[in-house]
Structure formats: C-alpha cells, structure tokens
Amino acid sequence: MTVILIYLLIALDVPKWFIKTVDKWRLNFLWRGRKELQGRHCPMAWQRVTRPFQLGGLGVHDLQTMAWTLRMRWLWLQKT
C-alpha cells in the first residue's frame, strides 16, 4: 500500500487529512490486521515505528515527510 501512495505523492499535493487517514490504516494493519484499533494494542508508538532501523524503528516511511521530499525532488528535476 505504501508503494502505491509514494507513486501518487510524486505528482499530487494530497491534503493532510488523507495522509493521516492512510497512516491510521497502516497502523491498524501493522498491529492488529483490522480496520479499527484502540491505543492499548499498540506495542510501539507510531513515531518510533517510522524511524529507520539504525535508530531503533521499523523503517516504515512517514508519508507526510515523504510527500514533501518527493515534491521538492520533482521541483528540482524540473529546474535542472
């Protein structure tokens, strides 16, 4: 699911509510495999999950940061 979103984030400026909703789906799937999840079922905070492996995280991409960097890269490629 993340790969498809990254492909879309290259060219589209999606609203923050969309990214938060997708992050909620990814969190729910990661911890319980369900659509809904309460906080007590999460063994690790989402901010820690999105850290790289070297910093103790699981290496899951933070979509908000990824969207910003992909848009900046797209602008840089257009300039050069």
Question: Tens-of-pLDDT digits for all 80 residues of the chain?
Answer: 677 777 777 777 788 898 888 877 777 777 665 555 555 556 667 777 778 888 877 778 788 888 888 888 888 888 88
Q: What is the pLDDT of residue 47?
A: 73
Q: Please give the C-alpha separations between residue 51 and each of 18, 28, 63, 80, in angstroms, as whole numbers.
A: 21, 18, 12, 31
* Dihedral over alpha carbons 34, 15, 10, 22 (to 10 degrees): 0
Query: Which pLDDT does position 73 carry in this prediction?
Result: 85
| In contact, 62 and 6? CB cutoff 8 Å | no
Q: For the chain, what are the domain ranges?
A: 28-80
